[in-house]
Amino acid sequence: MSAVDTLMPDMLLKGFDDPVDAGGRAFRALLDAMANPGTPFSITCPAEHPAQLSDAAAAVLLTVSDYATPVWLADDIASTDVQSYIRFHSAAPLTDDPAAAVFAVVAQGFEPLMATRFNTGTEDYPDRSTTVIVECAGFTGGTPVQLAGPGIEGTTRFAPHGVPLGFWEEMQMNNAGFPLGIDVILTAPGHVCAIPRSTLIEVN
């Protein structure tokens, strides 16, 4: 329920209804997703979110980003709405440099991910890498791939659609660089699914 009749552009939007409880639940969903690569999980979403950002991507950003985590936004997403939304609700600094970002958001579409432009961590601290939120249209109906590795019993099939062009090839390259690399959180309306760097990918 909103007191405003119509949401206008440039209007500051609501975040989680109950930031502590909802943030905790969304974080739990992210933990589950990271522990079970290739399996979609529903995530608690904010009451309102900017049009350029899916509700799930907004939920991830509000849950994990804070003043100490620079966020990089793809050009298609970096609208004033999204910027003020992130600044107001999470206080995260926005950066123009993908390699400096702790979290990054890539818009749905066919732009290549260009995984190597992000921070892949260092040999000493591989955890200091960028976690990339990749928006996609849905978790079914795309080109199926077979996933294996930590968190997956045997193998699992996964077919998200609307992923960036050459996404799986880039993710294979990313996995080849283990322990360095980026971790990816795919977001579709209301849901998240993780592809960490440890996941082996077989494109059929």
Partner 1 sequence: MPITTGDAAATPARSLRQRWISACARTDPDQLHILADVLGIDGTAFDVLRPAENGLVMVRGRAGGTGQLFNAGEMTVTRCSVRGRSGHVGHGYVAGRDKTHAELAARLDAHFQAQPDDTTLPIVAELEQQIGERAHARQQKSAPTRVEFFTMVRGEDE
Contacting residues toward partner 1, per CB under 8 A: 2-5, 8, 11-15, 18-19, 88-89
SS (H, E, C) 93-127: CEECCHHHCCEEEECCCCCCCCHHHCCCCCCCCCC
The CB-of-3 to partner 1 minimum distance in angstroms stands at 5
Residues 55, 59, 60, 65, CA torsion sign? positive
Q: How many CA atoms lie within 13 A of 23 on its CB side?
A: 12
Residue type for 101, please?
Answer: A
The CB-of-7 to partner 1 minimum distance in angstroms stands at 8
CB-nearer residue toward partner 1: 23 or 151: 23
CB-nearer residue toward partner 1: 8 or 127: 8
The CB-of-79 to partner 1 minimum distance in angstroms stands at 17
The CB-of-17 to partner 1 minimum distance in angstroms stands at 8
CB-nearer residue toward partner 1: 46 or 98: 46
CB-nearer residue toward partner 1: 6 or 204: 6
Instruction: Find how far residue 144's CA is from the centre of its chain.
Output: 20
The CB-of-94 to partner 1 minimum distance in angstroms stands at 19
CA-nearest of 96, 134, 115, 112 to 180 is: 115
Q: Find the angle CA(20)-CA(129)-CA(125) to the nearest 5 degrees.
A: 110
d(CA 43, CA 55): 9
CB-nearer residue toward partner 1: 89 or 197: 89
